[in-house]
Amino acid sequence: MNNITLRQLRYFDAVARHGHFGQAAAACAVSQPALSVQIKELETTLGAPLFERNARQVRLTGIGDAFVTRVRSILRDVDELGDLARAARSGLAGRLRLGVIPTIAPYLLPRIIARLGREYPGIDLQVRETLTDRLMCELLDGQLDTAIVALPVSETALVETPLFAENFVLVRPRADADQPIPSAEELRTMRLLLLEEGHCFRDQALSFCQMQATLPRDGLDGSSLSTLVQMVGAGIGVTLIPEMAVDVESNAAAVSVSRFTDTQPSRTIGLIWRKSSPLDPQLRQLAEILRDCCAPNRTGATATAA
């Protein structure tokens, strides 16, 4: 077993994640033949096949499935050796792998990148945008250092640090701007446009309206807040968006934006990372920076009651 290399383990992990040799090779920035050779050498060393290969897909064998958990633990430990070296330096510097959910990324990333680039020129910021469940898996696997999400995530292995709270606003067709602002109960009777399943913002909107996610709805789902707002502008229905998105999205469609007058739907935005991360001091410093530059009263987002 002395011939197993970290490169082979990383290539194996990539194929296991992607289920495809070509995609894994692209993710590792190598040619597919080079990756395939390393996987074959690994299987020869182990004396057993790690993947079932056919024309349509690649899947783990029984030993491959058992192997992948140990491999990811090894790779995570190796990556944390690099984190220890980074942690020994004061301040934010070097590689920082940051995850962000889609209902935050377009609105806060420009501020974050500008601030970090200006004040910490030695930082190498690598951004990953995807849904919360995926970010948590990648964080726990050591593929990310930290992530900006809506709290709570309720994972005991992760630190949760609140950054700020923000309200949701109602987006209606511009022709309805003079209509009374509906209550949460009244929203249940309207065509409420929501993000597709998997987005935590969808669940938060349903919770405000006290609607069960499993019940059939007379509405349409979108893949982004931009899509939802454009659908509202076309007169298809109404939607909720976070206040940070108002300036970007409301100017791109014929819509009116209103704050709720009674109960304010809201969410808490926070930073999460592994409790075992050697970068804990640097990530707490990052949380302070994000808290300072990204809070709602600093984003410039506004909404007026219709």
My answer on whether 169 and 259 are in the same domain is: yes
What pLDDT is stored for residue 229 in this prediction? 95
How far is the C-alpha of 248 from the C-alpha of 169, rounded, in Å? 14
Q: Which domain holds residue 179?
A: 165-266
What pLDDT is stored for residue 264 in this prediction? 87
How far is the C-alpha of 203 from the C-alpha of 159, rounded, in Å? 22
pTM: 0.76
Query: Is 204 within a domain?
Result: yes
Work out the mean pLDDT of the chain and round it to a whole number: 87
My answer on whether 76 and 20 are in the same domain is: yes
| CATH assignment at residue 46 | 1.10.10.10
My answer on whether 12 and 42 are in the same domain is: yes
Percent of the chain that is helix, strand, coil (3-state, to 5): 45, 20, 30
Q: How many domains does the chain have?
A: 3
- Read off the pLDDT band of 90 (50, 70, 90): low
Beta-strand runs (E) in 31-187: 51-53, 58-60, 94-100, 123-129, 146-151, 158-173
My answer on whether 173 and 253 are in the same domain is: yes
In sequence order, the β-bridge partners of residue 160 are 272
Query: Is 304 within a domain?
Result: no
Residue pLDDT, tens place only, 227-277: 999 999 999 999 999 999 999 998 889 999 999 987 889 999 999 999 988
Query: Is 305 within a domain?
Result: no
Least trusted range by pLDDT, from 65-79, 187-201, 211-225: 211-225
My answer on whether 111 and 258 are in the same domain is: no
Query: Is 1 within a domain?
Result: no
My answer on whether 64 and 97 are in the same domain is: no
My answer on whether 137 and 284 are in the same domain is: yes
Most confident among 75-84, 95-104, 178-187 (mean pLDDT)? 95-104
My answer on whether 199 and 278 are in the same domain is: no
Give mean pLDDT, residues 51-75: 87
Identify the domain boundary among 39, 67, 84.
84
Identify the domain boundary among 69, 84, 99.
84
Angle between helices 21-28 and 6-18 in degrees, nearest 10: 130
What pLDDT is stored for residue 212 in this prediction? 64
| CATH assignment at residue 144 | 3.40.190.10
Residue pLDDT, tens place only, 118-150: 999 889 999 999 999 999 999 988 889 999 999
Residue 304 has pLDDT above 60, yes or no: no
Query: Is 209 within a domain?
Result: yes
